[in-house]
Amino acid sequence: MLLKDRVGLVTGGSSGIGRGIAIELAQEGASVVIADLEESPRLGKYDPATTTTTTVEEIEKLGGRALFVHTDVSEEVSVRSALQQVVRHFKGLDILVNNAAVLIPGNSQELSVEQWDQVLGVNLKSLFLTTKFSAPFLKESETGRIINISSVAAFFGGGGPAYTASKAAVLNLTRDSALELAPDGITVNAVCPGFVQTSMHDTFTEEKEEQLRQETPLQRAGTPAEIGRACVFLASDDAAWITGIALPVDGGWLARVHT
């Protein structure tokens, strides 16, 4: 097992990509804390009707250890409390995966100021909070890892002003954190998913989904588990000398985009 005896925290781990990441970490031996607003999975049109178990229940069925912690990742007090519960329950922290995100459709004229603040709070401010308050614990680990989930939308416009701006900012925050924490042996990397079938994309029309598939060189959508495998790699000893990168996991999407 690549992550045996390590402790991971996954924000937004109840559903979608976060759920996939948490389960993959657990399958490699990590104990996993799910930090989310809701424990029950948010089911979208891509999820099987049989998906009724929580992420914790799924991990426990695999024989792993898991804990759910109610968390508003955009609020300092809530993030502090979540990290304290992690350390109290599992006696430490080795892996932080900042996955929680929201996508609110709309251009600059349609998006309200409150919606802008909401997206930036969840997608960007939360990374500052979790990094700030987890760093003291990660410094005590011999295998400290931070993995920030960005998006291919970080590299081009067209996804709305708040979402694309927040995901682009995640990449530079990743680089900055990587430089800051390198002397402590902590690696900080970003994963940039392409079109992955989750409830976040429930607002897409069938025509939009087909367009995304056609524009993906591998001609299909990704799965949460495939994003999870990339996170397993970055959390493992195999990636011990990798820090400050943005890893696309996108079926080739960015290969056709000039950046």
Reported as a single tens digit per residue, the pLDDT across 229-244 is 999 999 999 999 999 9
Model confidence band, residue 89 (pLDDT cutoffs 50, 70, 90): very high
46 in active site: no
What pTM did the predictor assign?
0.95
Mode of pairing for the β-strands spanning 31-36 and 66-70: parallel
Q: Which residue has the tokens 């992550």?
A: 3
Choose, from 163, 195, 233, 253, the residue flagged as catalytic.
Answer: 163
Residue 5: name the closest of 25, 30, 39, 40 by CA. 30
Q: What is the DSSP letter of 5?
A: T
Overall average pLDDT of the 52-80 stretch: 97
CATH of 7-247, one of 3.40.50.1820, 3.90.700.10, 2.40.110.10, 3.40.50.720: 3.40.50.720
- Would you list the domain boundaries of the chain? 7-247
The pLDDT value recorded for residue 46 is 59
How many Cβ atoms are within 10 Å of 210's Cβ, its own excluded? 11
Instruction: Give the pLDDT of residue 48.
Output: 57
